[in-house]
Structure 1
């Protein structure tokens, strides 16, 4: 059994603090809250496309874009690091048969809510939206919030937490990639992705592979020492900036822009588990970067919650209940069905000590979604009342899921 690092709980608290403040602010002072979210910080190379940008570079950086498009890239870098280790390293959580059940549960837990959302009457036409608009909204969950709630439900050492973490990371990245590809931020220019992957490849060849080869040929090589010790993480930070810029210019979600550099960073030889506490003592560049990003990611999550989580409660409408139903019904059904298929029919098996009945609680936990679903709201729905209604649906789904989990927990305790 491994222990999950305490910084995951910090991430959840920062996100919740931002959302709570946003809800209070949006309902007590909606005008000032809207002014803050749309605060025009600067015109230049970074921001959303704006033909009225003052300096002629065509982009405007707002507070909402800064939090969602720029700073949240650090959070998804941390998620990408965990996914890369799970896939590529020895003893990774996504190696072997035990990865089958959470992977199929993630796919089914994303597909069934989308199907349910599309058949339920959301009255999208009343908002001036096309039929089926916003279908990526119920796809994803929330890694940090589901983990904290999962600790309350299962206890800190339950094997279902490992299953939950693997599933929600896959679920979140799948949801973000789908929303970004189906609803690009602007007109697509795929050639710019060459800049992103070129920067990642150059960083790998020059500052990972080359010093490794030099050190293998001569352990005392001054060139290897300079590349490893003196330059440290700076070349990878520069490659990350270039990669992020390439994603922005390509028209894709810039929050994904740091993911290409994850495989380029030197890393440990084996994985210790998703968000494993043991990784806090590792000194390889990939883990050092993750340690350095803990406080910036906390700040990014707080600001993201503050700029994306505010909504007036009076905005509730039919689409709110559609989103709630898709999350609260579709997620648990998809997770249970996918988990059982993976565990029994395909033969992946559940983690030792996890029962099939635990999948119901895992499915309800997966109905708690903020970060990636809020990205999907902004990408796939027209602004204004429709986005506000969808956000309320997400909040209602999470609250009702916690109520149901509390009831299940109480019944279990009585038994």
Structure 2
């Protein structure tokens, strides 16, 4: 929970409990470091004590309820059980992007989806070409799927944490990639299928969808039971049950909290403060939870576990391979090892680029890409990392020596693809400035989140009218976080000069700040006498002193016509002006203060000087196009 001194905090109207795309990427990239450590540990273990390594993961574990038994080894419980949660989180993030993120404009989904399909098709074709007629041909499914964690980690490493759009594109692409890969597992690597169990899984999945329209009091426990039932039925059907995770994630909607829900939560919290009973505590907590979408609640709970525990545990159980001279000699000439390396490191990036070019052609009704072609080349190279699904498929297609050769190929992709991506970054940075500019002009603009365009005749604006970058804030004059943000805004204006204009709009949160509405009207009364910014700064500085007497004192010290100022407040002449700002905030999905928009694009995350300055510099390179 944020404290009053944190510039990254939010008021009780905070929009998200779970971090959106930036938080997802941050956790995924942090998890990739743990994943690399787990791979190294698995290799050390398998080479120093190979017998104990295999003995542990092949230990049988059984769950029995009456006459019904679920039995597999520890590796199977990880691969088919815990990994279901990993694919659930991937599906949740994809659905969040579809509902409220970059992909809510459906036309933008076509390009990364086509890129994923193209990369997979070319990779599979090259692998089959190398392994035609040989024992490795059956493992073509291991050559198609990108590892989400390692690919995002590699991209972040080579771009030094920059390039959010590239990471969003890669994430969108690998979700389609994972979906197709799981379908490949279900269709190509399932030997026997129980139609009865599969029908039960589909019926329970229908129950999950229907629960979206049910009451909130019993929906969550019922959904958990139905979701577990889907997994159990898939396990019994013979189809890999990890598919259940991705499917459930893709039907779990994301949405911003409604203003009515937030107001009800505030009232319940206030009631609990006045009468701290267990009933009111439970009601307030339940109301807060219900205000946030199930999608974001699940991500908040599961993502740290999947990225930093489950996937590294999967690596520990599957990446161990005894690298002796015989295996290395066999792998160096193995069509399986060579096929996997060429498919991922060479064929897949080329397939991604070719499919993206086709998908963006006007002749096919395509839209402009969201990335420049050099940036897309870096992203495509990062996508050439195979691990999680590749090892899953390899364990289904091979055993013995062939499986060991496949593991060597998969591990090599994790080393070579980041190297290719790094070389692509080096080449991109040497491009002339005019070439970079032409590339930027050929990309699609970012989706604008701001509902009402800036009107210089109505909005309060500081800075050059024609500045290439606009920073807009929705603020509350009684909010301590807005007070903390005000010096940051001043520093940014000094730092960027004529390159930046600043706009302030009112969002008084009257349910938590009773003096905010009157303070907002006082600044507008001062604006009528040409002193908006002077009054604005005074009230932010003294946000705990907003009585009528305090407002009169400020007006007197500013040399305003106090009688006119008082009459404006008494008649509430400027209340409609405040209401229009609040309506624009609602239309833009704003519910907390301070909330910033940069060139119409909502700024998410911290709003300290460094974070905002970085976002402003990025916007200066890509001003919003009309």
TM-score > 0.5 by shorter chain: yes
Q: For residues 266 and 98 of structure 1, what CA distance do their matches in structure 2 show? A: 19
Partner of 1:248: 235
Q: 1:81 to 1:190 in 2, by over 3 A?
A: farther
Q: Does 1:390 align with 2:406?
A: yes
Aligned residues: 370
Partner of 1:215: none
- The correspondence for 2:156, drawn from 131, 151, 154, is 151
Q: Is the 8 A contact 1:245 1:257 kept in 2?
A: no
Partner of 1:117: 127
Q: For residues 58 and 91 of structure 1, what CA distance do their matches in structure 2 show? A: 42
Deviation at 1:4, TM superposition (A): 4.5
Q: Is the 8 A contact 2:120 2:145 kept in 1?
A: yes
Partner of 1:225: none
Deviation at 1:21, TM superposition (A): 1.1
Q: Does 1:209 align with 2:213?
A: yes
Secondary structure class of the residue paired with 2:410: helix
Q: 1:265 to 1:151 in 2, by over 3 A?
A: closer
Aligned runs of 1:15-164 on 2, under 5 Å? 15-42=35-62, 44=64, 59-87=70-98, 89=99, 93=103, 95-121=105-131, 124=134, 129=135, 132-154=137-159, 155-164=161-170
Aligned runs of 1:1-16 on 2, under 5 Å? 3-5=22-24, 6-16=26-36
Q: TM-score, normalised by structure 2?
A: 0.55
- The correspondence for 2:319, drawn from 309, 313, 322, is 309
Q: 1:183 to 1:121 in 2, by over 3 A?
A: closer
Q: 1:261 to 1:403 in 2, by over 3 A?
A: closer
Q: For residues 21 and 82 of structure 2, what CA distance do their matches in structure 1 show? A: 29
Deviation at 1:25, TM superposition (A): 0.7
Q: For residues 231 and 204 of structure 2, what CA distance do their matches in structure 1 show? A: 10
- The correspondence for 1:197, drawn from 182, 199, 202, is 202
Q: For residues 43 and 347 of structure 1, what CA distance do their matches in structure 2 show? A: 53
Q: For residues 234 and 133 of structure 1, what CA distance do their matches in structure 2 show? A: 42
Q: 1:39 to 1:2 in 2, by over 3 A?
A: closer
Q: 1:208 to 1:349 in 2, by over 3 A?
A: closer
Cα deviation digits, residues 344-374 of structure 1 (max 9, x gap) = 253434544x211222222211111111111
Secondary structure class of the residue paired with 2:398: coil
Q: 1:91 to 1:324 in 2, by over 3 A?
A: closer
Deviation at 1:91, TM superposition (A): 5.3
Cα deviation digits, residues 176-210 of structure 1 (max 9, x gap) = 221222011x51113312222322332443x4313
Partner of 2:10: none
Q: For residues 199 and 15 of structure 1, what CA distance do their matches in structure 2 show? A: 33
Compare CA radii of gyration and give the structure with the larger one: 2
Q: For residues 3 and 86 of structure 1, what CA distance do their matches in structure 2 show? A: 12
Q: 1:210 to 1:100 in 2, by over 3 A?
A: closer
Secondary structure class of the residue paired with 2:61: strand
Deviation at 1:408, TM superposition (A): 3.3
Q: Is the 8 A contact 1:93 1:99 kept in 2?
A: yes
Partner of 1:273: none
Deviation at 1:99, TM superposition (A): 1.9
Deviation at 1:281, TM superposition (A): 12
Deviation at 1:100, TM superposition (A): 1.9
Q: Is the 8 A contact 2:116 2:174 kept in 1?
A: yes
Partner of 1:217: none
Q: 1:203 to 1:361 in 2, by over 3 A?
A: closer
Q: TM-score, normalised by structure 1?
A: 0.81
Partner of 2:295: 286
Partner of 1:346: 364
Q: For residues 153 and 36 of structure 1, what CA distance do their matches in structure 2 show? A: 36
Deviation at 1:58, TM superposition (A): 6.5
Deviation at 1:245, TM superposition (A): 0.7
**Structure 2 unmatched runs, 5+:** 1-19, 258-288, 432-626
Cα deviation digits, residues 140-166 of structure 1 (max 9, x gap) = 101121112112233424422221111
Deviation at 1:56, TM superposition (A): 7.3
Cα deviation digits, residues 362-392 of structure 1 (max 9, x gap) = 221111111111111112x221111111111
**Structure 1 unmatched runs, 5+:** 46-54, 212-227, 271-279
